[in-house]
Structure 1
Amino acid sequence: MATLYPPYIIERSSRGERTYDIFSRLLMDRIVFLGAPINDDVANIIIAQL
């Protein structure tokens, strides 16, 4: 079975280049995608990440 890797983003700034996986970069912008109903456990995990 093939391993799937998330896409990566290359961010360029005056300090140089930095690579992020797409999910980490979206989380830095506080963009969260949910694929399940929100219950107490899911809400606590999201709050901890933000």
Structure 2
Amino acid sequence: MVDWGMAASVAISGIVSVFAVLIMLQIGVQITGMVIDSQAKKQSQKQNT
């Protein structure tokens, strides 16, 4: 028979790990966006002066 306690544990840990990876990716994308934004602002300030 199926050990439902173990199956639920594996399912929950899988779901949590997927969300953890998605959060890490979102943080990485936001940081990259901030870096690109700041570089673009510096570039436009150089062109304006």
TM-score bracket for this pair, using the shorter chain length: under 0.3
The TM-score, its normalising length taken from structure 1, stands at: 0.25
The TM-score, its normalising length taken from structure 2, stands at: 0.25
Q: Which is greater in Rg?
A: 2
Q: Which has the higher contact order (CA 8 A, sep 6+)?
A: 1
Query: Which is strand-richer, 1 or 2?
Result: 1
